[in-house]
A and B are shown apart, each in its own frame.
Chain A
Amino acid sequence: MFDLSAHKTISLIQGQAEDMESEWTIEAQWPENGGSWSDTENEAGMDSDLLQAMAEEDEEINIFNEETFGMEPLPSTPPPNTDPKPLSPSTSPPSPPRQRPQYLPQYPARAAQWQRIRGPRWRGGLGRGQMFDDPAVMRIVEGRPSLMSVDSAIVDCGHAVYRNTSLDNVRAKTSISFGCRWRGFMFPPNRPCPSTPRPLTPKIMQLRFGADSPRPSPFYSPSTNRVYGDPVTQLHPQHKRLLSQKQHLKSQGSDPYCNLMTTKEKEWIIRLQMIQLQMNFRLASHLSSQRRTSQKLMHTSSGLSVFHIEGSLGQVAVSTCYSPRRAISAVNAELKDTRQQRLEILSKIEKLFIVLLEVEETERMKTPVSSEAEDAMLLEKIQRKVEHIYSELQHHDSLDSGTEFLPVLSVSKGKKLLARLLPFLKNDSAIKILHIIASNLPTVMSKDTEETLPVLYLPLRNVIGGLTFSQLIKVLRDLTSSESLSTLECLSLACQNKFGLTLLYALLSHGEKLLSSGVPLEPSIGDFETWTDIIFQVAGQLSQCSLVEPLLLPSNLLTLFCRYLDKRTVHQLKSNLE
């Protein structure tokens, strides 16, 4: 590929040079021995005419090469005019070498001309040599060329051509020799220049450019007085052809440089890309299949061989061999249930809340203007929904009846729900809830981490306000009698909690109200004893332990205590309460 591209690039340069309207064009001399090229692509699939033309060109190329480079290594002797191959005028056009002697004197003139042309044109530099150390720029800007102008190989090749004749200024030569090398510029082998390439033998060419590259004749430097003469006639036959082609095409208006890359070359690249694709595809699929199998292995193995030792914290599985932490942090089955339960309750509460909102909405619709029938209808609606909520909240998996609303009460939203529901409930239902709260007060209080219990206070107080004396006593009994705790402990716990204390106060206050109201109480047996008992116990508790600030301090409490206790204790209580 390198060879073909270079070949074409050379023709491009020629065209380019012409485009730029310079006085000279470079003379690219790629040593080619057409016959030794392993260039099968061009030969296949061409008709005989083209083959004939190619063959002729090859002939010309051979001649040209021999003429140009010759077989002797001596640069100093002028090139022999006798060609090893006799030229038959019929087969090929007059070979350039014959014309060469004529051009020999012309070259220096041309060089001088070139230099002359360069001189005046570029004398009028802008003096910004530092900025324009780029000859491509300079060419446009007409700045002064500098020795450091190595940006364009074209310029320097021209330089080199000129300077080569004078055999001086090794340094300039060094910098450009590298760039120009591939174009086949000849360097005198006796140059003491470190970067001058060794004469490239065919073997070296093979190593450098690959097995399929052309094997040129050795790079021998032509003599210094060899002609790099008139470029047009001195052209390599292939270049001549391309040039004429281009000129012809240009007149036609189409892109004269198109199809420099032949179809064969394109197909070659496509073939390579396909191979690359295949490789990538295979690699990717291989990797993904590997991943899949490893995943499968992981999944199947973990399902079967989870090993749980009785009483241990964690469980052992294949996966835990690779990540031990997971074994320890294995979730306990019971805990999972609790979390699950909590979520269930929460979702239930959410749903019931919506119903509650509907209830409240319906309640608001009951205006004084509405008729009785409407009222009744709305009321009925409300009741239905309220009952629904109540039954839902009551529903509990466990059999013991005393813990019905507790799960709901453990969730703060549940408490809010109950608080808003209580006003709508029938008395029995409301009292039931009160009972539940009273009997489970320690549990309820301990679970109230967010301190939402106070929302329940007002509705409960309203409920308490409707209690009869017996009912009140019952509640008080519930409050003070718990399974695990003694009365004192219950009371002390209650006193430590805002809600508990306030609830207690509310109960006592109501009792006092009842007692002092003069309404016939209809007490049951033992009510009064319980009552007085509780009073004394409460008084004892209140005077001893530290009290929290209650939500509301009923005014008739002191009166209550006065009735039962001595003055001293009352005073103490008073000070404590405040």
Chain B
Amino acid sequence: MANFRQFRPDDLNKFSKCNLDPFTETYELGFYLQYHAKWPSLFQVAEDQHGNIIGYIMGKLESSPDYYKFSEHYLPWHAHITAVTVAPEARRLGIGKMLTEQLEAAADANDAWFVDLFVRSTNHKAIQFYKSMGYSIFRTVKDYYGDHSSDPTKSSEDAYDMRKPMKRDVKKEHIREDGEKFEVDPSDVW
């Protein structure tokens, strides 16, 4: 069972169901608070009947800094999903999808061109999850992660930069086919 609402800092004391799962990264306090401070409506949680957080999404609205304007990698005004996670016991109920849709609605309301995110290229479940909602791979960022989630002999892992166009992108200018083959370096993403 679940309730959806905006994140409150006290929720950090109830994160165990999500964050003890190895696929979910735990950040420093300032990182969570920055999102809560700047984009409170894009930081949403699902809680169970005891107040445990069983899912959350953290996102932001931004464009690349102006001095990148002439770079081919410049990103116009868009929403970015920084983290989305659902506790194992609450998966496959549509919670992840509802959290994401809610963020997409906010992206549309703020006239964003698209929503994007990074995902480990071996996180098949998550990739499936995003694809099911209309996201596609826009580019592959080589060796984006400094470790490998499933192969300890490797010291890095690629990321997929996935995107879904929003209403503003009527002509679908911000997505591409076969984006997987479009490789960039980590220094090209900001």
Pair from one complex: no
Chain A residues engaging chain B, CB cutoff 8 angstroms: none
